[in-house]
């Protein structure tokens, strides 16, 4: 039971950073990746300690890497289009 405390603390810290940082898009993406890392660690510990097959971890890791690549591509696209990653500079109403 003690092994599950650290990923839970990491998950809560990632959620707090995600909730309270809304100025930069990069910090939001980094907090989402931190949450994914804590979930990966939690699922790995659960499956390893209960002697489950770890191929599910590889499938999840593949999806999470694709998600990170998509977020990085979106960040690059926003920086090229708007010049920075501040949320207040995004004008969503454009004609």
Whether pTM > 0.75 for this model: the answer is yes
Whether the pLDDT of residue 41 is over 70: the answer is: yes
CATH number at residue 27: 1.10.287.3510
Contact 60, 53 (CB under 8 A): no
Percent of the chain with pLDDT over 90: 29
pLDDT in tens, 76-89: 888 887 777 776 76
Domain assignment present for residue 47? The answer is yes
Whether the pLDDT of residue 94 is over 60: the answer is: no
HSE-CB for 87 with a 13 A CA cutoff: 9
Domain assignment present for residue 25? The answer is yes
Whether the pLDDT of residue 11 is over 90: the answer is: yes
pLDDT in tens, 47-64: 988 988 888 889 988 998
Domain assignment present for residue 95? The answer is no
Q: Which domain holds residue 45?
A: 2-89
Number of domains comprising the chain: 1
């Amino acid at each position: 039971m003690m092994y599950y405390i650290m990923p839970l603390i990491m998950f809560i810290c990632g959620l707090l950073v995600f909730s309270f940082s809304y100025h930069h898009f990069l910090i939001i993406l980094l907090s989402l990746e931190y949450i994914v890392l804590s979930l990966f660690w939690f699922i790995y510990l659960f499956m390893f300690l209960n002697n489950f097959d770890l191929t599910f971890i590889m499938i999840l890791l593949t999806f999470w890497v694709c998600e990170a690549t998509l977020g990085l591509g979106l960040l690059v696209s926003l920086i090229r289009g708007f010049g920075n990653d501040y949320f207040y500079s995004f004008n969503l109403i454009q004609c």
